[in-house]
Amino acid sequence: MSHFVPEQSIEERGINVIRGLAMDAPQKANSGHPGTAMALAPLAHVLFTRVMRYDATDPEWFDRDRFILSNGHASILQYSLLYLTGYGLELEDLRQFRQFGSRTPGHPEVHHLPGIEVTTGPLGQGFAQSVGVAIAERRLRHQFGPGLCDHHVFGICGDGDLMEGVSHEAASLAGNLGLGRLVFVYDDNHITIDGATELATHDDAAKRFEAYGWHVVQLGDVANDLEAIEDGLRQGMAEAERPSLIVLRSHIGWPAPHRTDTKEAHGDPLGAEEIRETKKLLGLPPEEDFYVPDDVLGYYRAAGRRGAPEREKWLARLDTLGEEERERFEACRVGKGLKGWEEDLPVFQTGEKAATRKAINAVLVATAEKIPGLVVGAADLTGNTGTKLDLDDAMSPANPGGRQLHYGIREFGMVSAMNGMALHGGVLPVGGTFFVFSDYCRPAIRIGAMSEAHAICFFTHDSIGLGEDGPTHQPIEQLASLRAMPNLLLIRPADANECSAAWQVAVEADTMTALILTRQDVPVLEGTAERARLGLSRGAYILCDEEDGLDIVLVGTGSEVQLCVAARQELARQGISARVVSFPSWGLFEATDEGYQASVLPDDVPVLAVEAAASFGWDRYADDVVSIDHFGASAPGQRNMAEFGFTVENVVARAIQLLDEDAN
């Protein structure tokens, strides 16, 4: 390990400055991961100064190359480059690394500061989201031509990313789709927090990715060789038909004299003395923190503006679009419909019967042509989950513009890819699976909600009413679980008209939406054609008014609203005046004002809720709830509903019981 000498090039000095920042920020925070950032400083330097096309003065330029740091614990590497190249980050932001309210949190968060494309954190998800980013890029290139969309997706992943199962799902999908603009560097440093990777795995990642259909470039032990790194990246860029994995052997913590190739360099600050010794080896001022000389900063700022001419040419091309094509491009870019798209929303007639999974499909198909960014698919359940478009062939290497996407049995990978598509922009992704399998993709739902990714999930077979598949497939606790997730818009429509209204809300939303849908047929209820459009957007609404005074409010969601409607009629025959409230979305209801909430659920009237799911959480709205707080059974769906109390007779009996308790 040689000392820094003045004869070193500006590139070598810049790389050492990055290494200094990678040591100083975690040390000041007493928290962080310096080792990977130190080892990969040359790689990041090559990406940001030689390879990637971007303009730091306009971070939202749509046709920029995308960079995703999947091993997001090494965030100080990305933050250092964003500061140096001029994204608006300041040196003080690096000094506030991992502190409350800072712009430099522990893992990169999209929308938090310019230059962060997706939220990475839990390992593997950045990689999987990158696959979605690459899907969006290729589809838009096919849809609008390379004049408007023609860029690469670069990423860095580590051993932890490739151990997590979601990366396997996503890598297999990417290989099957032949995503040639996706170039990932695998940081093969052989170290995890527990120690050497050999403690837990002896996988040959290169062979595994070759089996997935990837183009693999074995660079070897060249983490400090700028020319070799650039050559490997350009080999990946030149491969048009397959995604590329560039395998780079690095040494975590290099060149720290006592921490190189150690697990301690992974997750702990190096310590003041080790930093001083390392800075001496690099030729950095050993007692100066956050050292960035003016000429190094100037060099990187110039690199950050290299893409400005390309951006200006792109803007000029955008200006030449005709009015109709410009409207389609903008609708795609924001993931919304063309002007007046909602006029195509169907209205269903009272008395018709349809499972809400089938009703949502009718709504989807009716509006698809006016939502040009729509890409719809399922985790091998296309016909079962209402996600079949019947408009064109499936997306494939030969048909990159296909709007039907087969994800295979990869729920976690599906929603992660949907997040990537949504955050890239240009695509409104819709993905479907059975509601119970939302547990398989829950981590991606969480990241999507946190990222405000405009994606839509169809979760079907939503209760014990799905029947014979039994308790392993019958969701009980999933509604309560997902209702607890911030930023997730959860809607359980009661019938086809509520599905139509829910689709409008989902398309026009600015965050992730989950529609919870039935397998079994439910009737189109009287009043939803007139009331659901406005009512559903408020989360809850009065579907059936009380006839004379108000004795009790019956609240239902989804397939149980019909029970409330029928129970109201029976209660009326017994002289009890009931109101029926359809309550498809707690989140939307809670966003309304207190006056509206009180008009729907008066404080002085007993409330009985009916929902074929766990009772958890209903105490905030109801005095009692007909629910199921145990697992279901394998039987025809209607038998299950009857056995577990979801009948008109039981709802009536529980309503009378609640009224008696209230009177006493």
- Residue 268 CA neighbour count, 13 Å, CB half: 12
Contact between 1 and 149 under an 8 Å Cβ cutoff? The reply is no
pLDDT in tens, 155-210: 999 999 999 999 999 999 999 999 999 999 999 999 999 999 999 999 999 999 99
What H or E segment, with its residue span, contains residue 249? strand 244-249
CA distance 569 to 17: 76
- Cα–Cα distance between 342 and 617 in angstroms, integer? 33
On the question of pLDDT at 535 being above 90, the answer is: yes
For position 391, what pLDDT does the model report?
66
- The edge-to-edge listing of strands for the beta sheet with 374-378 is 404-406, 374-378, 428-434, 456-460, 513-516, 489-491
Identity of the residue numbered 137: E
Report d(CA 367, CA 508) in Å as an integer. 13
- Residue 664's pLDDT is 84
Query: Rounded distance, CA 159 to CA 168, Å?
Result: 12
Do 548 and 433 share a structural domain?
no
Residues with Cβ < 8 Å from 78, sequence gap 6 or more?
44, 67, 69, 108, 115, 116
Alpha carbon distance 17, 285 (integer Å): 10
pLDDT at residue 4 in the model: 41
Single out the residue in 465, 494, 523 at which a domain terminates: 523
Residue 5, pLDDT > 50, answer no
506 and 605 assigned to the same domain: no
3-state helix, strand, coil split of the chain in percent (to 5) is: 45, 15, 40
Q: Which of 137, 164, 274, 411 is catalytic?
A: 411
Q: What is the pLDDT of residue 390?
A: 78
Q: Which domain holds residue 437?
A: 334-523
With a CB cutoff of 8 Å and minimum separation 6, the contacts of 275 are 23, 24, 27, 286
> Tell me: the pLDDT tens digits for 610-658?
999 999 999 999 999 999 999 999 999 999 999 999 999 999 999 999 9
Model confidence pLDDT, tens digit, residues 113-170: 999 999 998 999 999 999 999 999 999 999 999 999 999 999 999 999 999 999 999 9
Name the one residue in this structure whose structure tokens are 């070598």: 12
- Active site (annotated) includes residue 643: no
pLDDT score of 548: 87
- Looking at the structure, tell me whether residues 509 and 536 fall in a common domain: no
Residues 490 and 549 reside in one and the same domain: no
Neighbours of 261 (CB within 10 A): 17
- Is residue 435 one of the residues assigned to a domain? yes
Say if residue 255 is preceded by a cis peptide, omega within 30 of 0: yes
The CATH number of residue 616's host domain is 3.40.50.920
411 pLDDT exceeds 60?
yes
The residues near 56 (Cβ < 8 Å, ≥ 6 apart) are 82, 85, 86, 87, 114, 115, 301, 304, 305
Q: How far is CA 309 from CA 234, 268, 314, in A?
A: 21, 42, 9
Residue 250 falls inside a structural domain: yes
**Cβ burial, residue 95 (10 Å; 0-12/13-18/19+):** middle
Question: Do 347 and 304 belong to one domain?
Answer: no
Helix, strand, or coil (residue 345): coil
3-class SS of residue 578: strand
Place of tokens 């209801």: 589
Domains of the chain: total: 3
| Model pLDDT for residues 75-96, shown as the tens digit of each residue | 999 999 999 999 999 999 999 9
- In a domain? residue 314: no
Dist. CA 335–CA 213, nearest whole Å: 30
Shared domain check, 582 and 486 = no
Same domain as 177, residue 30: yes
Neighbours of 133 (CB within 10 A): 28
509 plus 539 within the same structural domain: no
Domain containing residue 378: CATH number:
3.40.50.970
Residue where one domain finishes, among candidates 523, 558, 585: 523
540 shares a domain with 518: no
SS3 322: coil
Any domain includes 51: yes
Cβ–Cβ contacts within 10 Å for residue 20, how many?
26
320 within a domain of the structure (yes/no)? no
State residue 375's pLDDT score. Answer: 98
Final residue belonging to a domain, choices 478, 499, 523 = 523
Quick one: residue 296, left, alpha or beta (phi over 0 = left, psi -120 to 50 = alpha)?
alpha
Q: Quickly state the pLDDT bin for 491 (edges 50, 70, 90).
A: very high
Percent of the chain exceeding pLDDT 70 equals 99
Cβ 635 vs Cβ 643: under 8 Å = yes
Does residue 319 form part of some domain?
no
**Together in a domain, 538 and 519:** no
CA distance 354 to 25: 58
Kindly state whether residue 482 falls inside one of the protein's structural domains. Answer: yes
Task: Say if residue 573's pLDDT is above 70.
Answer: yes
- In the chain, the amino acid numbered 228 is A
Provide the CA 550 distance to its chain's centre, in angstroms: 44
Q: For 346-358, what is each residue's pLDDT tens digit?
A: 999 999 999 999 9
pLDDT for the residue numbered 3: 42
Task: Tell me, yes or no, whether 137 lies in a domain.
Answer: yes
358-373 tens-digit pLDDT: 999 999 999 999 999 9
* Residue 159 contacts residue 190 (beta carbons within 8 Å): yes
Q: How far is CA 260 from CA 156, 189, 251, 254, in A?
A: 20, 10, 6, 5
CA-closest candidate to residue 541, choices 502, 576, 514, 484: 502
Say what the pLDDT of residue 274 is.
Answer: 98
If asked whether residues 519 and 592 sit together in one domain, one would say: no
Residues 629 and 499 in one domain: no
SS (H, E, C) 372-409: CCEEEEECCCCCCCCCCCCCCCECECCECCCCEEECCC
CB atoms within 10 A of CB 556: 27
Question: How far is 577 from 481, CA to CA, in rounded Å?
Answer: 33
Within 8 A by CB and 6+ apart from 165, the residues are 124, 412
Instruction: Round to whole Å and give the CA distance between 245 and 202.
Output: 18
Give me Rg for the CA atoms of the chain: 28
**Adjacency order of strands within the sheet including 182-188:** 66-69, 153-158, 182-188, 244-249, 215-220
**pLDDT attached to residue 2:** 39
Query: Given a cut of 70, is residue 577 above it in pLDDT?
Result: yes
Q: Which neighbouring-strand residues pair with 404?
A: 376, 394
Q: What is the mean pLDDT of residues 268-287?
A: 97
Tokens (6 digits) for 53: 């096309």
pLDDT (mean) for 9-14: 97
Contact 403, 426 (CB under 8 A): no
Q: Give me the DSSP letters along 300-315.
A: HHHHHTTTHHHHHHHH
